[in-house]
Amino acid sequence: MKLGFSVFSLAVVLFTSCSYLPLQSGSKDCGFTASFTLPKQGEGPLILFSRVLAEELNGQTNCGFASVPTKVDKASVDGKELRVVTIGEDVVYAAPAGFDPTTQAISIEADGRSYFTNQNEVRRDGNRYLIGLRSFPPK
């Protein structure tokens, strides 16, 4: 009986920690992130977009529970549409050479909504950039 209870307890923990459950997914729009590694000189970066998921804890919905790589309907930099590139199972978007996220804006369309670079959330860590995208118009 003790083993059965342990297996049941483990199953409950795993089941309730999955993000697809309504309790965990939240209805709040947490936006998207864009990320890329600095490319070789003269090449443009390949940008990966991810949807930011929410978590509901103690009745409060908090963004940042997880990020899920996502194909978007349309992506552009300063109004110029980005080319879609498929690498294995990953879908990335080719930005022009010289792309600088600190001075140029990324915009995407996903699920009928528009998202733009949040200049307060552009971070560089070594040779990698992480860029927060906020919905427009803001909720």
pLDDT at 3: 41
DSSP 31-79: -EEEEEE--STT---EEEEEEEEEEEETTEEEEEEEEEE---SEEEETT
DSSP bridge pairs for 20: none
DSSP bridge pairs for 106: 77
pLDDT at 12: 32
> Chain-centre distance of CA 89, in angstroms?
16
pLDDT at 27: 59
The residue among 30, 81, 35 whose CA lies nearest residue 53 is 30
pLDDT at 22: 39
pTM of the model: 0.77
Residue corresponding to tokens 């307890």: 9
pLDDT at 21: 35
Residue corresponding to tokens 């915009």: 107
pLDDT per residue, tens digit, the chain (139 aa), is 444 433 333 333 333 333 333 334 445 889 999 999 999 999 999 999 999 999 988 888 899 889 999 999 999 999 999 999 999 999 999 999 999 999 999 999 999 999 999 999 999 999 999 999 999 876 5
Residues contacting 45, CB < 8 A, separation 6+ = 36, 37, 38, 39, 94, 95, 99, 129
